[in-house]
């Protein structure tokens, strides 16, 4: 499996890796703010080596199909032989990349180790760097030396999440203790670094992806993203098309631009686009106010503090400086915070940990970090440099209210360690990018959600305050769609191992049609505001690894099947030729609308002149030879839904059946309104579910 992910650093500003054309979203160490600023300031270059962006992610505890220790033994067939690649930098000597008990690389493997060959082993079977474009951008010679070693941490984290070997005693500053293991622990890994410390070039990204495919990778995992652009101008889309043509699965981060609509990265339908969700685990840091109110937040750094010792509480915004509430460097100068806990707000491009450092340097003893309104209830467990608690926006308003009403406000921060079984979980993270897609509005994106908040995985550097040491191998807890992506990459590797004859599209279909739409409590999965997540946030649902290995039916596509779709987007023959890397003449191709692509989800638009639409789909039986599936359509009362035929009868494995889904308008619907539902094919043992999104335009 190939992980193409740029590193994003922990202790330092994430100047992390970028990939040829990559879009890098900074470690979620400051994620939403930092990533957003990165997206706003970076130029996404297409074709020319320009800088791009990246995104980070973290753990898998609490994922359905994974036991309490984080192990993933849900498939009867081992994932040996699946080579995982990571296009970021990686740390070769971390125990998560131990080659003990691993078989030799598969015979098809053609990759190599570009650092000391002795640092590669039967787990880490390859490491290469592609930085010619990045070096050219900064004026260095094309032949300048480049090492695949991780200098930031993001690549180490994501790679170990995908396929890290089991490591007992994992923890971060004494929290989240347990057995750390990747989703596909018996998979081989190769790392491809495609970004420098400051820049990523499109040429490097595409070169790294092409090399990974040529070397024999089975899965490419890219925790990288950037602004939406046409597919012919998107290096990741181009590299991914070449990969799926060779049978290589590609999963990519949806991006960290949420909850803004149409903030997605990596929208091509041949890519699995991954959103980020929370887990049922909290590294709890509770804020106790002087009026007795307790508000649960999070922080990985949890020093010993008395639960009964209160400190004066002040609001950074009262310092008198513009935007001081965001606790930027110098914002507290002249404001007396010595010996006090300071309330800061998330945002303004200032990393969360940096805010704490600003408070500490001004003499503060602690920080309460209040969420920005868009991020709602999504809180993150960072390794702060002082006692701190990241609380929700709603709880932040409670703190502000207390400050306004009390003449002598005080607070204490009580550290409660790792708390399991939190609810609601999973929930879509506030930073996770949203649809609808700009590059292809008729394809429902993202595709799937996976764990991406406060994920524990391998890390190459110490974390937390410089005065704190952590015994044993280093791990870190970070967040982002970068962290969700390697979970899905590892699951794809397991499915590929169990079903080596399945195409990338079949694997994607299995993941999407088996996804969960309810949380651990049986309620609909919610977003960061704790209201039901729509398909533009969650895609087909939250990944369920056990069900994904045995979906019953799959919606399949070959590389050639995308050509009529691309011509139907209005691309010129030359533009489609760029994507396909072979001559395409759209005038000789029977183009199709986006809704007619044989995708596992359905997205259509209705207008006053076209109040109904029919879409065709084809499924292949990968379950029992003799099986019958009945259609169930769940739509708003204002819509009509019919499937023809309403039953599918199979007598053989791999037999294909086609059907039409007819959607019509029954009542008045406002222009711009979107209604969502689903199609289910139900047998005696399985439910094959496809989301349906219907929009209305005048």
Q: Is there a domain that residue 548 lies in?
A: no
Which pLDDT value is given to residue 138? 72
pLDDT in tens, 626-676: 999 999 999 999 999 999 999 999 999 999 999 999 999 988 888 889 999
Sequence-ordered list of residues with C-beta below 8 angstroms from that of 229, at least 6 positions apart, any chain: 44, 46, 439
Q: Is there a domain that residue 535 lies in?
A: no
Q: Is there a domain that residue 523 lies in?
A: no
DSSP characters over 255-314: -S-TTSTT--S---TTSEEEEEE--SEEEEEEEEETTS-EEEEE-S------TT--EEEE
Work out the pLDDT band at 614, boundaries 50, 70, 90. very high
Which pLDDT value is given to residue 146? 75
How far apart CA 469 and CA 127 sit, in angstroms, is: 30
Name the CA dihedral angle for 483, 485, 486, 492, rounded to a multiple of 10 degrees. Answer: 160
pLDDT in tens, 18-51: 222 233 332 332 343 333 333 223 222 223 233 3
Lowest-confidence pick of 17-31, 321-335, 446-460: 17-31
- Residue 610: give its domain's CATH number: 2.60.40.2310
pLDDT > 60? residue 589: yes
How far apart CA 270 and CA 239 sit, in angstroms, is: 11
pLDDT in tens, 91-127: 567 999 999 989 999 999 999 998 776 789 999 999 9
> Is 377 in contact with 55 (CB distance < 8 Å)?
no
More confident residue, 75 or 429: 429
Which pLDDT value is given to residue 13? 27
More confident residue, 118 or 611: 611
Q: Is there a domain that residue 549 lies in?
A: no
Q: Average the pLDDT over 154-165 and give the result.
A: 94
| Cross-strand bridge partners of residue 663 | 613, 641
Residue 582 and residue 641 share a domain: no
| Cross-strand bridge partners of residue 518 | 524
Residue 508 and residue 373 share a domain: no
Residue 681 and residue 589 share a domain: no
- Residue 124: give its domain's CATH number: 3.40.50.200
Residue 619 and residue 564 share a domain: no
- Last residue in a domain, options 392, 418, 444: 418
Q: Considering only CA atoms, which of 121, 203, 249 is closest in space to residue 559?
A: 249
Sequence-ordered list of residues with C-beta below 8 angstroms from that of 236, at least 6 positions apart, any chain: 21, 22, 23, 205, 209, 222, 224, 225, 252, 266, 268, 271
Angle between helices 504-513 and 481-498 (to 10 degrees): 110
How far apart CA 142 and CA 131 sit, in angstroms, is: 8
Residue 349 and residue 445 share a domain: no
Q: Is there a domain that residue 443 lies in?
A: yes
In the numeric block, which tokens belong to residue 237? 């889309």
- Residue 366: give its domain's CATH number: 3.50.30.30
Lowest-confidence pick of 49-53, 237-241, 580-584: 49-53
How many domains does one find in the chain?
Answer: 4
Which pLDDT value is given to residue 600? 99
Residue 357 and residue 214 share a domain: no
- Last residue in a domain, options 449, 483, 516: 516
Q: Average the pLDDT over 517-527 and give the result.
A: 97
Which pLDDT value is given to residue 275? 98
pTM of the predicted model, to two decimals? 0.89
Work out the pLDDT band at 69, boundaries 50, 70, 90. very low
Q: Is there a domain that residue 525 lies in?
A: no
* Segments forming the whole domain that contains residue 98: 2-279+430-516
Residue 192 and residue 96 share a domain: yes
Residue 334 and residue 291 share a domain: yes
How far apart CA 343 and CA 174 sit, in angstroms, is: 25
Residue owning tokens 């926006």:
393
Residue owning tokens 């070039």:
201
Q: What percent of the chain has pLDDT over 90?
A: 75
pLDDT in tens, 532-566: 999 999 999 999 999 999 999 999 999 999 999 99
Q: Is there a domain that residue 448 lies in?
A: yes
Lowest-confidence pick of 24-33, 285-294, 575-584, 669-678: 24-33
Residue 140 and residue 36 share a domain: yes
Residue 104 and residue 176 share a domain: yes
Q: Considering only CA atoms, which of 160, 162, 178 is closest in space to residue 170?
A: 178
| Distance, CA of 546 to chain centre | 20
The conformation of residue 696, written as its DSSP 8-state character, comes to E
Average confidence score pLDDT of the chain = 87
In the numeric block, which tokens belong to residue 478? 């970070």
Which pLDDT value is given to residue 117? 66
Q: Average the pLDDT over 372-401 and give the result.
A: 98
Residue 160 and residue 65 share a domain: yes
Q: Average the pLDDT over 610-636 and give the result.
A: 97
Q: Is there a domain that residue 584 lies in?
A: yes
- Last residue in a domain, options 389, 418, 447: 418
Residue 130 and residue 9 share a domain: yes
């Amino acid at each position: 499996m190939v992980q193409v992910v740029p590193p994003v650093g922990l202790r330092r500003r994430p100047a992390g890796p970028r990939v040829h054309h990559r879009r890098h979203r900074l470690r979620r160490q400051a994620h939403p703010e930092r990533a957003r600023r990165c997206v706003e300031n970076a130029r996404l270059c297409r074709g020319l080596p320009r800088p791009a962006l990246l995104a980070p992610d973290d753990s898998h505890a609490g994922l359905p199909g994974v036991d309490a220790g984080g192990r993933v033994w849900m498939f009867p067939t081992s994932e040996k032989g699946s080579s995982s690649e990571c296009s970021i930098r990686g740390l070769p000597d971390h125990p998560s990349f131990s080659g003990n008990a691993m078989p030799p690389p598969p015979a098809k493997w053609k990759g190599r180790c570009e650092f000391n060959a002795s640092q590669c082993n039967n787990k880490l079977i390859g490491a290469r760097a592609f930085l010619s474009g990045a070096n050219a951008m900064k004026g260095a010679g094309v032949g300048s030396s480049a090492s695949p070693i991780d200098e930031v941490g993001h690549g180490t984290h994501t790679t170990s999440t995908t396929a890290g070997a089991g490591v007992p005693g994992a923890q971060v500053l004494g929290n989240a203790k347990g057995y750390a293991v990747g989703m596909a622990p018996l998979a081989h890994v190769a790392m491809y670094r495609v970004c420098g410390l400051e820049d990523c070039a499109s040429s490097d990204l595409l070169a790294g992806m092409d090399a990974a495919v040529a070397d024999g990778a089975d899965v490419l995992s890219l925790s990288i993203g950037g602004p939406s652009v046409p597919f012919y101008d998107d290096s990741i889309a181009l590299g991914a098309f070449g990969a799926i043509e060779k049978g290589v699965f590609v999963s990519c981060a949806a991006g960290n631009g949420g909850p803004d609509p149409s903030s997605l990265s990596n929208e091509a339908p041949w890519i699995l686009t991954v959103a980020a969700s929370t887990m049922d685990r909290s590294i709890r840091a509770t804020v106790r106010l002087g009026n007795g109110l307790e508000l649960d937040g999070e922080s990985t750094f949890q020093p010993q503090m008395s639960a009964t010792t209160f400190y004066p509480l002040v609001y950074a915004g009262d310092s008198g400086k513009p935007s001081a509430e965001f606790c930027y460097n110098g914002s507290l100068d002249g404001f007396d915070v010595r010996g006090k806990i300071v309330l800061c707000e998330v945002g303004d491009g200032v990393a969360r940990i940096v805010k704490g450092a600003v408070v500490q340097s001004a003499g503060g003893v602690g920080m309460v970090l209040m969420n920005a309104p868009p991020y709602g209830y999504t809180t993150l467990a960072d390794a702060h440099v002082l006692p701190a608690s990241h609380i929700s926006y709603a709880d932040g308003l409670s703190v502000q209210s207390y400050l306004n009403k009390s003449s002598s406000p005080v607070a204490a921060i009580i550290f409660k360690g790792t708390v399991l079984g939190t609810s609601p979980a999973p929930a879509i993270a506030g930073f996770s990018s949203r649809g609808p897609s700009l590059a292809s509005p008729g394809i429902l994106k993202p595709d799937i959600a996976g764990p991406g908040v406060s994920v524990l995985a391998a890390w190459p550097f110490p974390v937390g305050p410089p005065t704190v040491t952590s015994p044993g191998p280093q791990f870190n807890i970070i967040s982002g769609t970068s962290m969700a992506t390697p979970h899905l990459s590892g699951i794809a590797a397991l499915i590929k191992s169990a079903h080596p004859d399945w195409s990338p599209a079949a694997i994607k279909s299995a993941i999407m049609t088996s996804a969960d739409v309810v949380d651990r409590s049986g309620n609909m999965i919610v977003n960061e505001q704790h209201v039901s997540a729509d398909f533009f946030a969650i895609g087909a649902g939250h990944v369920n690894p056990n069900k994904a290995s045995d979906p019953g039916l799959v919606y399949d596509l070959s590389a050639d099947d995308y050509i009529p779709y691309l011509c139907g987007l209005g691309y010129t023959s030359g533009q489609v030729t760029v994507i396909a890397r072979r001559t395409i003449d759209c005038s000789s191709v029977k183009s199709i609308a986006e809704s007619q692509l044989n995708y596992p989800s359905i997205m259509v638009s209705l207008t006053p002149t076209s109040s109904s639409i029919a879409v065709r789909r084809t499924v292949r039986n990968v379950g029992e030879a003799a099986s019958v599936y009945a259609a169930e359509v769940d739509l708003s009362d204002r819509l009509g839904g019919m499937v023809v035929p309403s039953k599918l009868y199979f007598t053989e494995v791999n037999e294909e059946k086609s059907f039409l889904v007819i959607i019509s308008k029954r009542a008045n619907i406002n222009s711009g309104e979107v209604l969502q539902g689903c199609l289910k094919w139900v047998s005696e043992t399985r439910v094959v579910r496809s989301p349906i999104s219907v929009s209305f335009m005048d």
